[in-house]
Amino acid sequence: MDKFLIQGGNRLHGRVKISGAKNGALALMPAVILAPGIYHLHNTPNLRDVWTMSRLLGSLGIFCELNGNDLTMDARQISSFEAPYEHVKKMRASFYVLGPLLARYGWAKVSLPGGCAWGPRPVDLHLKGLEKLGAKITLEQGYVIAEADKLKGDRFHFDISSVGATGNVLMAAVLARGVTELTNAAIEPEITSLARMLIKMGAKIDGIGTSHLIIEGVETLNPVDEENIPDRIEAATYLIAAAMTKGRVELENTNPYHLSSVIEKMEETGCNIDVNGNKIFIEMDDDPKPINIKTSIYPGIPTDVQAQWTAYMLLAQGNSFITDSVYHDRFKHIPELQRLGADINVVDNVAIIKGGKKLSGAIVMSSDLRASASLILAGLVSDGVTEVLRVYHLDRGYESVEKKLENLGASIKRVKSEMI
Ligand code: EPZ
């Protein structure tokens, strides 16, 4: 398992191209199940999660090939309607094939995803939504079996705004008979992007970009070529890296609108940020002001930026409070940050950070994708060398991370690790 060696203290400067969105690609890829044909998905990031989804689609009979950042998916022949545990356990987003398989073939068997590093990740809203469209759902030995001769449009309200559940139910509804009305649907850019692709395929969807979606089912859809959106979480991570190192960095290939809440908060900390088309320029000369955040659904501060913001506030001259209102206890990065000298306490799902403490390099362990990103960020500003173990977590969602950071002036090396 690889590890990163990071020598702290370098200021980042220069340009970095933001990759296509991991969560964007993972939302669009299962949609190819809905219609036979060959698809091209441009701006697809070369990431472990994309390889995992490609392998899962491959097990269904859909040949996937990534050339650079162009993904070709051949969905002309689907030979299986089962998503086995071996794929789903690696990546929760594998569960997103349930809705399209059910809509197209009337039967699907998909492993329950189980929990993740920071706790339970239920799928009850996915199942309730599909049942509302007429699916018969049974649970057998850790698998969901979904059956429906023909899904029938209906109204469904999501008790919680859920990205995955919205995607699954939306992909089922586009081939259902009649009209489906979804309320409290997720409005994350990845879902809007999925809705746009479905419309391009021939689906009839009103209200995209809002939490009220009205879908008129159609008989068939067609294959398309699509462009994946830029990764707003990767962009936020590099903005924070630039600010933490008191650097001057320009991000390219972004959609600034998708991270306006993060940009706003970073300006509150004292950063100077300029937005120009798909470019974001950031410079920072001082330590950040302590700014509290509370994560929320889009367009609020994403929960996927919470760990990175925690690392950022370690440098603030004062105390800050970080609340994750989306996930309970998504704080596995905190004990590792404490190993670097951070003064953080978690009380009732709020991380209380006493900023300004000296950070010194140490060996730290990645536990999940965004936790490992926060360890990298902290290593960039810690005295001495920080070893970040199990960087395979990072490889799930950050394309060429060490190359991008090195090009910006960071001292970071990927080495094979004899430690687990
Ligand atoms: C997506 O996960 C993202 N993953 C996550 O990013 C992200 O953290 C999350 O949305 C929230 O923005 C992908 O897009 C592949 P949810 P998802 O369903 O769809 C509860 C990353 O780091 N819930 O929106 O699984 C759930 O417990 C990953 O890139 C139910 O209660 O998240 C949570 O509290 C991590 N029942 C809330 O909704 C359900 O059936 C939001 O979860 C579904 C969800």
CA of 304 to the centre of ligand 1 (A): 10
CA R_g for the chain: 21
CA separation (Å) from 163 to 24, 96, 146?
11, 10, 20
pLDDT of res. 419: 58
Looking at the CA of residue 167, tell me the nearest atom of ligand 1: 19
Q: How many residues does the chain have?
A: 420
Cite the active site residues.
116
Distance from Cα 76 to the centre of ligand 1, integer Å: 30
Spell out the per-residue pLDDT of the chain, length 420, in tens.
899 999 999 999 999 999 999 999 999 999 999 999 999 999 999 999 999 999 999 999 999 999 999 999 999 999 999 999 988 888 999 999 999 999 999 999 999 986 676 677 789 999 999 999 999 999 999 999 999 999 999 999 999 999 999 999 999 999 999 999 999 999 999 999 999 999 999 999 999 999 999 999 999 999 999 999 999 999 999 999 999 999 999 999 999 999 999 999 999 999 999 999 999 999 999 999 999 999 999 999 999 999 999 999 999 999 999 999 999 889 999 999 999 999 999 998 899 999 999 999 999 999 999 999 999 999 999 999 999 999 999 999 999 999 999 999 999 999 986 655
Return the pLDDT at 297: 97
Report the pocket of ligand 1 as residue ranges, CB < 6 Å: 22-23, 26, 92-93, 121-126, 160, 162-165, 190, 302-304, 326-327, 369-370, 397
Tell me what pLDDT residue 121 has: 77
pLDDT at position 408, please?
98
Q: Which 8-state DSSP code applies to residue 360?
A: B
DSSP assigned state of 19: P
Residue 41 backbone phi and psi in degrees, to 5:
-115, 105
Give, for ligand 1, the residue of 166, 326, 374 to mutate: max count of ligand atoms closer than 8 Å to Cβ: 326
Residue nearest atom 9 of ligand 1, based on CA coordinates: 163
Cα separation, 373 vs 333, in Å, equals 9
Instruction: Tell me the pairing of strands 155-157 and 179-183.
Output: parallel
* Residue 297 Cα: closest atom of ligand 1: 12
> What one-letter code names the amino acid at 47?
L
Residue minimizing CA distance to atom 19 of ligand 1: 164
Tokens linked to 239: 């903005």
Residue nearest to atom 22 of ligand 1 (CA): 304
Query: CA-to-CA distance for 238 and 273, rounded, in angstroms?
Result: 13
Domains and CATH numbers, the chain: 2-19+230-416 (3.65.10.10), 22-227 (3.65.10.10)
The answer to whether 356 touches 317, Cβ cutoff 8 Å, is yes
Please say whether the beta carbons of 308 and 342 come within 8 A.
no
Per-residue pLDDT at 106: 97
Atom in ligand 1 nearest the alpha carbon of residue 162: 24
Report the separation in Å between the CA atom of 163 and the middle of ligand 1, taken as the mean of its atom positions.
Answer: 6
Identify the pLDDT of residue 420.
Answer: 53
Tokens 């089962």 found at: 82
Answer whether 189's CB lies under 8 Å from 261's CB. Answer: no
